[in-house]
Structure 1
Amino acid sequence: MGEAERGEAAPRVVVSYWCSNGHETRPSFAEEPGLSVPEQWDCPRCGFPAGQDQQNPPAPPRVEPYKTHLAYVKERRSDEEGAVILDEALETLRSRGLIR
């Protein structure tokens, strides 16, 4: 489990965090001078960020969909530019005798 406790435990501060799903997380921190607790904490139940304001928790992160290499190329090149590049590549292969 963990190390056996020896001596007195350090004084603790328990802080409540809430995620957008309403889960409450209560990690404890050692109380020390100049203590600054994190503004956000990852919810152990759903993984969303959790904040200290129960009425206004942080929004879940926006997940970007996976893009293929072709999707990135199409963002940078028009169909006409792609056709020109393809024709150049095919001509190079034909000149090498790799395709007819």
Structure 2
Amino acid sequence: MAERTLRGARLGGQSFEDERGIEFAARQQIGYTCPQGHVFEITMSVEADVPALWECPRCGAEALSNSGELPEAKAEKPVRTHWDMLLERRSVKELEDILKERLELLRGGEIGPAHLHRANAKKRKVS
């Protein structure tokens, strides 16, 4: 039964819908010019928000709209370093105390690389 319903039609080859009675949305042509001098137009709906920048189809550069509208300047966040993030969590006094504590543990051989512990262990046995 399914074979008979597809007889005479190619899958994906053609549409049986026609455009009679269809009202298309209002459109507008928006012109753009890229830095290399390429000029092109994009068809958009009249209701669409027209972007000030569009990628050039020839070279891929950012093309500026011919309407004269400039793109919005994006607010850039200041660069946060590791030190800035650390200061958000601890005060400088706390950091100095932690550093002093960790240096004492390292010098005492309680923390740190294994080769440092072996050297300290040998010194303790000789003494």
> How would you bin the TM-score normalised by the shorter chain?
0.3 to 0.5
The structure having more radius of gyration, on CA atoms, is: 2
* Structure with the larger helix share: 2
Higher relative contact order (CA 8 A, sep 6+): 1
